Amino acid sequence: MSIELKVPEIGESITEVEIGEWLKKEGDTVKKDENVVSLESEKATVDLPAPEDGTISKVLKQKGEVAKVGEVIAHLETGKGESAPAKSESKAAEKSTPAKAERKTEERREAKTEKAPAEAASKPRSQQRSTNEEPETSTTSTEENIEPREAQASGSPGREEEIVPMSRLRRTVAERLVEAQRNAALLTTFNEIDMAEVMQFRKEYGEAFQSKHNVKLGFMSFFVKATIEALKQFPALNAEVRGTDIVYRNYYDIGVAIGSGKGLVVPVLRHAERMSFAEIEQTIGEFGRRAKENKLKIEELQGGTFTISNGGVYGSLLSTPIVNPPQSGVLGMHGIQDRPVAREGNVVIRPMMYIALTYDHRIVDGREAVTFLKRIKDTLENPARMLIEI
């Protein structure tokens, strides 16, 4: 029995996908729930599993082609033994092809050999090559059209080019980033944080935390908590512009930028204000694992009222993050470096981190943005205040 493999409903507003890598090819056998092909949407990459045991009998859409939701992209044959002859015939055809090609090549050589003396005889004696001259080096038709050596620099070894089409996810990310630059009045402000207290806090309680919750106490949970406290004080950074209105929210869905094999994705911590340190770390860890496996759900990437991006994990010292529309702000974390700073008239070495806030100046004033960042700095330099909410 033949089963149609169709593009499933992936998420709201998604009407088509781009065919990614075929994990199974025509003639391959598959088990029920085994992934067959990757489908790339505007927001995530998902795998299509086989509904039953069987054999892929026909692939209708190749990698890079676009298919609409509900469209048939392949056929799965569930009957045993039906696909084997086709596969055998395919192999036989493959074996016969080189033989045919070899016969044709030999025929061309024979024809060329017979033709050459006749052509030589028809030339005037003055144009015929003397037997004392060295024979010309034979070249292919491609080599005959090659420019002089001086003009070959771009084609020399080590200067090859490879053209790879952008994935659907990458194109969407690019479009949204350009949209943010075009439609919002973006501005960035900076500050720096002395991370000594947070690092000491992690050193003192990290082992007990991991033992109890089975997850490491990272920096991100501190930043999420500090950001929420700052957003409560400056609600415009948790709002969005909708037409001529400003939409303020009394909940905090914090997006966390995570690098995946397909590009940057931003899964969302829903109602992050209700989450504990452990729940934040566990959820982010799970997001990271599933992002690498392309198993994030569409609904986990939608929404978000504010975003935190940690370029420090890649070694970034300072950057200007771009707002994820329609949000009004994004916080950029960076690498921690020991630097000399002044403390009570003395120069001391402290673990310092630059932080950046990019915000939509249409609804967020400079004073609010600077004070927002200062609030995060003060909270992280005195992490105990997060526990007693001051």
Beta bridge partners of 45: 40
Check: CB of residue 180 under 8 Å from CB of residue 321: no
Beta bridge partners of 246: 241
Active site residue 365: yes
Nearest one of 260, 284, 258, 263 to 272, comparing CA atoms: 284
Query: Distance from CA of residue 374 to its chain's centroid?
Result: 32
User: 3-class DSSP state for residue 171?
Assistant: helix
Contacts of residue 294, defined as CB under 8 A and 6 or more positions apart, other chains included, come to 38, 44, 45, 46, 47, 260, 261, 262
Catalytic residue among 47, 53, 213, 361: 361
Residue reference for tokens 């998902």:
46
Measured between alpha carbons, how far is 257 from 268 in angstroms, rounded to an integer? 9
Burial letters for 246-281: b for 16+ Cβ neighbours within 10 Å, e otherwise?
A: eeeeeebbbbbbbebebbebbbbbbebbebebbebb
Residue reference for tokens 């994004």:
330
Contacts of residue 154, defined as CB under 8 A and 6 or more positions apart, other chains included, come to none
State the CB neighbour count (10 A cutoff) for residue 30: 19
State the CB neighbour count (10 A cutoff) for residue 335: 16
Beta bridge partners of 265: 258
- Look at strands 329-333 and 263-265 and give their pairing: unpaired
Dig out the tokens for 118 from the structure: 């006749």
- Structure-derived torsion over alpha carbons of residues 80, 86, 87, 91, reported in degrees to the nearest 10: 160
Dig out the tokens for 67 from the structure: 């298919």
Measured between alpha carbons, how far is 333 from 307 in angstroms, rounded to an integer? 11
- Look at strands 329-333 and 306-310 and give their pairing: parallel
Residues that are catalytic: 361, 365
